Amino acid sequence: MAARVLSTQEMKIASEDDVVLVRRAVRALAERRGFDSFASAALTTAVTELGRNIWVHARSGMAIIEELEDGLRPGVRVEFKDLGPGIPDIDWAMAGGNSTASSLGLGLSGTKRLVDDFQLQSEVGRGTSVRITKWKRF
């Protein structure tokens, strides 16, 4: 069955404070949808990493937060998109331990493990989009 989108909220990311606001909005939504504390923490950690990636690597972008329902199962989907430099080698960026910012390079690879679905699209010179989905477990 295709997931229904119950609500959509768009937030800009142009500062570290904006990343905190997005994190807070996603956590509130996850709690409202009945996610347990582990799922909520996993999702908010992923959101912080991807929001920070926009700020650090692209400087500005958007988070689009969607409240989903698949049958009776609540879910949350967040898309992070920017018009920044893009990622030249996605396998390299996803491998874990690789960074162009002299950082740990664990953001993308770690994030993927924290969510149920992870879709990354990126084009050099055009930007990057990362879409994550997490479902409530009963």
Ligand X SMILES: Nc1ncnc2c1ncn2[C@@H]1O[C@H](COP(=O)(O)OP(=O)(O)OP(=O)(O)O)[C@@H](O)[C@H]1O
Stretch that binds Mg ion, among 89-97, 99-107, 112-120, 130-138 (CB under 5 A): 99-107
Q: Identify which range of 14-22, 26-34, 62-70, 96-104 contacts ligand X by CB under 6 A.
A: 96-104
Backbone angles phi, psi at 34, to 5 degrees: 85, 20
Are residues 104 and 98 in contact, defined by beta-carbon separation less than 8 angstroms?
no
- Spatial distance between the Cα atoms of 69 and 83, rounded to a whole number of angstroms: 29
CA pair distance 65, 30, nearest whole angstrom: 11
User: Using the rule CB under 6 A, is 119 a contact of ligand X?
Assistant: no
For 100, which DSSP code?
Answer: S
Q: Quick check: 27 binds ligand X (CB under 6 A)? A: no
Altogether, the residues listed in the chain come to a count of 138
Residue from the set 17, 20, 34, 103 that interacts with ligand X by CB under 6 A: 103
Residues near Mg ion (CB under 5 A): 53, 107
Residues near ligand X (CB under 6 A): 49, 53-54, 56-58, 82, 84-87, 93, 98-101, 103-109, 128
